[in-house]
Amino acid sequence: MIKILITYLFIFATLSVRAEDGHKLWLRNSNPKPVNAVCTNSSPMLTIAIQELQQGWQGEANALVSLKIIHNKDIFRDGFKMTKNKIQANTEVGILYGVYELLRRQQTGEEIKEAIVNSSYERRILNHWDNIDGSIERGYAGLSIFWKKGKDSLVVTEKDKVLWKEYARANASIGINGAVLNNVNASPLMLSKAYLERVKSIAEVLRPYGIKTYLSVKFSSPSLMGGLKTSDPLSPEVIKWWNDKTREIYGLIPDFGGFLVKASSEGQPGPQDYGRTHADGANMLADALQPYGGIVMWRAFVYSATDKDRAKQAFLEFKPLDGQFRDNVIIQVKNGPVDFQPREPFSPLFGAMKKTTVMPELQITQEYLGQSTHLVFLSTMWEEFLKSDTYQEGAGSTIARCTDGSIFPQKYSAIAGVANIGLDMNWCGHPFAQSNWYAFGRLAWNNQLTSDQIADEWIKLTFHQSALNANQPRFSEDWKMNFLKPVSKMMLQSREAAVNYMMPLGFHHLFSATEHYGPGPWWAPKGMRKDWTPPYYHKADSAGVGFDRTKTGSNAVSQYHEPLLSQLNDVRTCPEIYLLWFHHLPWDYKMKSGKTLWDEIGAHYDNGVKQVREFQKVWDKVQPYVDNERFVQVQEKLHQQSENAQIWKDACLQYFQKFSRKPFPIDIQGPVNDLDELIKEDLGKH
């Protein structure tokens, strides 16, 4: 009997460990204490708020917690006022956010004191690049949670609703209040009645969690769906078609958020096809949405084939239109001027548009940063971006302040993140990729948070149950010293490590054409447009390397305000992290370290490899504090990341050595991969 009992307990413990599959994200309520929640109002949203308190309360047992809707002029939009046992807000969703804030502080051990907590941005939105066949463009965590293919693709099941509810709860817990459900490369079928009915079903699940649904739309839908001869935004019949379609959508989804549009970009149709401007196209849609309170998010990711400087094109197209857009149009701008690279200077559009609302577009899914294989905590990247000074209205005009309404009065403020969510059990493919979803939500709510704080929160919320499984009290000094501290340090260093082993010192777009994953600085097939090839960006030759964007080069520096313009233009004052972005320099150029440029490049690549190897050591040491399933998964991915980092280093240094004609720096490890073999393998994939 004893033997049977021991066997049963072993099996139960094993199953408990196996059940730690990451699906719960950072919402790991354990051993809640009883609590009495009192709310004078009632609604599905307030019911959720009460349930969350009951399922996660870590405060004084049997405490009385008051949830009350009030009218306080110091509370903005969906903000709230909180104490240890009271949440007050002007809106129901403010109450819900207050509950999540209170529970998070309890669960992480953060001090709870009376405070008014307001959000930085009004609209905090995930952009899903999901296709209606269930695939996801730049998705690395399985198929779509919203769409699927097959004869029953539009049938809504209870399993669908459960998953959507879990998704909504995770978003609400970090303040995300909007979701664009489909790819910016939109299918016109998205606006058909059958698909809109499914959107209605999704919206009904998301609504009680305060999340609005949005749709990406194809600009030529009137022609493709409506049978019109044109999609000209100034055509009366086109205007009527969009007005009718918008009315139909709001009839199904009264709180519909609006449209996201990729137009006149990468082959997608747009107003320029009809001799019109971005403003003409955006305003036509904005007028259709205006009676219902909807917005248009018009993407500024535009470029045409060029031999000049692709990085300048969005500014050149949009800056002349400043002031011509309706007040419910928001220009959605990627953080950098090219395309979600491991490091870019900020897009100059953030310092250019003074009469038009601009919203940042960040990429949570790691398209150019190792996808779901590499551990790269993106909060440090976004913090660097948000704190960058545009000097738009003098010193202190950070991107955060330029976009959240602090500097210019604007009707709306918004921020978007391209989601990394799929059907994988842990939602994001890599256990640590969840931290980027979390970090986006936290920074969207409060753009002044530090990455240190966000990493600390996420680790405590995501791994504390592992500590309990290891018979450790929550957040013991041992756990903090031997798990929290080293893992946090690893996360905070991870983005810089990726920059080092991929593209240091301002290098950019050195990727192979194979899904933007591995290195390919050599990739330039005959007949390919130049701005789709790495040599266009690195300009390596026997004289040196780097893209000259100074006043005597492409003059991209002129798109920035002084004193930043002069700082970037002068090689002596340009930050070295952007050096090769703005300057073409000799291989023997002397760096601040005293090394030549060639030796400095080598040192960065070598350091990146060493950093990832150190991450492996850190993770191996924390094994006693982590459930076996997630430990092994991360360990395997770090091993692959280490191999990838070595390939990046070997490929790039050997390739650029052909131009520098200099020996490998004597103080770094030599290559272990043969360049010709790497090139052969890469080209064989195409």
Q: Please pick, among 137, 339, 576, 643, the residue that the annotation labels catalytic.
A: 339
Residue 13 has pLDDT above 70, yes or no: no
In 570-627, alpha helices (H): 579-582, 597-621
Residue 604 has pLDDT above 50, yes or no: yes
Main-chain dihedrals φ then ψ at residue 116, nearest 5 degrees: -100, 130
Question: Can you point out the beta strands (E) in 33-183?
Answer: 35-39, 63-69, 80-83, 86-89, 115-117, 123-127, 178-180
What is the C-alpha separation between 405 and 273, in angstroms, rounded?
33
Determine the distance from the C-alpha atom of residue 260 to the mean position of all C-alpha atoms in its chain, rounded to a whole number.
16
Contact assessment for residue 250 and residue 292, using Cβ atoms and an 8 Å cutoff: yes
Q: How many CB atoms within 10 Å of residue 7?
A: 10
Among the listed ranges 14-28, 417-431, 531-545, 631-645, which one has the minimum average pLDDT value?
14-28
Q: Please pick, among 266, 478, 588, 620, the residue that the annotation labels catalytic.
A: 266
**Span 312-349, pLDDT tens digits:** 999 999 999 999 999 999 999 999 999 999 999 999 99
Helices (H) and strands (E) in the chain, counts: 21, 13
**Fold topology of 504-547+584-683:** Alpha-d-glucuronidase, C-terminal Domain (3.90.1330)
- Nearest residue to 138 (alpha-carbon basis) of 297, 305, 370: 370
Residue 9 has pLDDT above 90, yes or no: no
Q: Is residue 366 helix, strand or coil?
A: coil
**Span 41-58, pLDDT tens digits:** 999 999 999 999 999 999
Q: How many CB atoms within 10 Å of residue 160?
A: 17
What is the C-alpha separation between 169 and 99, in angstroms, rounded?
12
**Span 199-239, pLDDT tens digits:** 999 999 999 999 999 999 999 999 999 999 999 999 999 99
What is the C-alpha separation between 470 and 622, in angstroms, rounded?
12
Q: What is the DSSP letter of 239?
A: H
Q: Which class would CATH give 22-117?
A: alpha beta
Chain position carrying tokens 């309360």: 57
DSSP β-bridge partners for residue 298: 261, 331
Among the listed ranges 13-17, 93-97, 445-449, 534-538, which one has the minimum average pLDDT value?
13-17
Of the pLDDT bands very low, low, confident and very high (cuts 50, 70, 90), residue 465 is: low
Per-residue pLDDT at 474? 77
Q: Please pick, among 101, 130, 367, 650, the residue that the annotation labels catalytic.
A: 367
**Span 483-533, pLDDT tens digits:** 999 999 999 999 999 999 999 999 999 999 878 999 999 999 988 899 999
Using alpha carbons only, what angle is made at residue 407 by residues 403 and 409, rounded to the nearest 5 degrees?
85
Q: Is 339 a catalytic site residue?
A: yes
Q: What is the DSSP letter of 122?
A: S
Helix (H) or strand (E) holding 445: helix 434-445
Asked whether the domain spanning 504-547+584-683 has the same topology as the one spanning 22-117, the reply is: no
Per-residue pLDDT at 439? 98
**Span 353-398, pLDDT tens digits:** 999 999 999 999 999 999 999 999 999 999 999 999 999 999 999 9
Q: Which class would CATH give 123-449?
A: alpha beta
Q: Average pLDDT of 431-451?
A: 98
DSSP β-bridge partners for residue 617: none
Using alpha carbons only, what angle is made at residue 64 by residues 61 and 66, rounded to the nearest 5 degrees?
140
Determine the distance from the C-alpha atom of residue 575 to the mean position of all C-alpha atoms in its chain, rounded to a whole number.
25
Per-residue pLDDT at 620? 98
This prediction has a pTM of 0.96
Per-residue pLDDT at 444? 98
Would you list the domain boundaries of the chain? 22-117, 123-449, 504-547+584-683
Of the pLDDT bands very low, low, confident and very high (cuts 50, 70, 90), residue 37 is: very high
**Span 77-127, pLDDT tens digits:** 999 999 999 999 999 999 999 999 999 999 999 999 999 999 999 999 999
| One-letter amino acid of 668 | I
Of the pLDDT bands very low, low, confident and very high (cuts 50, 70, 90), residue 475 is: confident
Residue 471 has pLDDT above 60, yes or no: no
